[in-house]
């Protein structure tokens, strides 16, 4: 297994956790900007996974898909699980009775300045500025479709893996739902694609 992150602290923490779990001999962690990765990491993989909360940090969604394509071996699988662009457009104070849209759905960049983060809401960050990009569902699907990867499914889910809205509640599986909705809304999506055999 190979994990990639641009942050040195994240890589150091991952290595420490792998050691504590007895997996250090089976795990490699590479510090790299995503778009530089083809110049830093060799080889291809049976499974390439993009995890929750990644896409909002990427300015070039087509470039992301091209990097993914390079690392999926023929016959291999690409999988992404991510916050739905609909969720990203909502204000955190939205409720079933009052949906408030505060952010762009069809692309754009926003700068936020606040203490705390999704990992630690009480963290004191000093300069807490972050720059996030918003990618619509068609941006994401079209970026993958522009590669040689063949999409097997796109699933949308009425829950997410973190409290995206203040009014969300957890179920017994640790998923977050917005209670009281008359109809389900998409808060998470997943896409699986495969690289054709050579």
Beta strands in the chain (DSSP E): 2-5, 28-31, 45-50, 72-83, 108-113, 129-134, 150-157, 169-170, 176-177, 188-194
Please indicate, yes or no, whether residues 5 and 102 belong to a single structural domain of this protein. no
Asked if residue 108 lies in contact with residue 78, where contact means CB atoms within 8 angstroms, the answer is: no
Asked if residue 158 lies in contact with residue 184, where contact means CB atoms within 8 angstroms, the answer is: yes
Confidence at residue 128, expressed as pLDDT on a 0 to 100 scale: 66
pLDDT > 80? residue 123: no
pLDDT > 70? residue 117: no
Q: pLDDT band for 130, please (50, 70, 90 cuts).
A: confident
Please indicate, yes or no, whether residues 105 and 20 belong to a single structural domain of this protein. no
Please indicate, yes or no, whether residues 187 and 116 belong to a single structural domain of this protein. yes
Q: pLDDT band for 82, please (50, 70, 90 cuts).
A: very high
Please indicate, yes or no, whether residues 107 and 117 belong to a single structural domain of this protein. yes
> Tokens 């069809």 appear where?
106
Instruction: Give residue-wise pLDDT tens across range 47-69.
Output: 999 999 899 999 999 999 999 99
Please indicate, yes or no, whether residues 131 and 172 belong to a single structural domain of this protein. yes
Please indicate, yes or no, whether residues 4 and 45 belong to a single structural domain of this protein. no
Please indicate, yes or no, whether residues 27 and 37 belong to a single structural domain of this protein. no
Q: pLDDT band for 109, please (50, 70, 90 cuts).
A: confident
Q: Express the helix, strand and coil content of the chain in percent, nearest 5 each.
A: 25, 30, 45
Confidence at residue 145, expressed as pLDDT on a 0 to 100 scale: 98
Please indicate, yes or no, whether residues 78 and 151 belong to a single structural domain of this protein. yes
pLDDT > 90? residue 120: no
CATH number for position 76: 3.40.50.150
Count of domains observed in the chain: 2
Please indicate, yes or no, whether residues 55 and 110 belong to a single structural domain of this protein. yes
- Alpha-carbon gap, residue 196 to 147, rounded angstroms: 11
* Averaged pLDDT for residues 20-29: 95
Give me the chain's average pLDDT, please: 92
Please indicate, yes or no, whether residues 68 and 119 belong to a single structural domain of this protein. yes
Confidence at residue 119, expressed as pLDDT on a 0 to 100 scale: 62
> Global pTM?
0.89
> Tokens 């609909």 appear where?
86
pLDDT > 80? residue 173: yes
pLDDT > 90? residue 118: no
The three-class DSSP label of residue 146 is: coil
Domain carrying residue 182: 32-194
pLDDT > 80? residue 176: yes
Please indicate, yes or no, whether residues 59 and 112 belong to a single structural domain of this protein. yes
Q: Is 72 exposed, middle or buried (0-12, 13-18, 19+ CB in 10 A)?
A: buried
> Tokens 């009480």 appear where?
122
Residues whose CB is less than 8 angstroms from the CB of residue 66 and which lie 6 or more positions away in sequence, other chains included: 147
Confidence at residue 110, expressed as pLDDT on a 0 to 100 scale: 80
Please indicate, yes or no, whether residues 102 and 11 belong to a single structural domain of this protein. no
């Amino acid at each position: 297994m190979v994990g990639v992150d641009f942050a040195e602290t994240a890589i150091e923490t991952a290595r420490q956790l792998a050691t504590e779990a007895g997996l250090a001999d089976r795990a490699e962690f590479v510090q790299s900007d995503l778009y530089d990765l083809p110049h830093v990491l060799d080889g291809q993989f049976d499974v390439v996974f993009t995890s929750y909360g990644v896409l909002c940090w990427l300015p070039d969604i087509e470039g992301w898909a091209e990097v993914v394509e390079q690392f999926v071996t023929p016959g291999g699988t690409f999988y992404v699980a991510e916050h739905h662009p609909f969720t990203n457009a909502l204000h955190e104070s939205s409720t079933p009775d009052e949906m408030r849209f505060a952010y762009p759905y069809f692309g754009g960049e926003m700068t936020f300045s606040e203490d705390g983060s999704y990992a630690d809401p009480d963290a004191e960050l000093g300069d807490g500025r972050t720059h996030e990009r918003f990618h619509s569902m068609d941006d994401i699907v079209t970026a993958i479709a522009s590669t040689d990867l063949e999409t097997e499914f796109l699933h949308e889910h009425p829950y997410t893996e973190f409290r995206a809205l203040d009014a969300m509640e957890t179920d017994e599986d640790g998923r977050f739902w917005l209670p009281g909705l008359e109809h389900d809304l998409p808060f998470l999506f997943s896409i699986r694609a495969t690289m054709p055999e050579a």
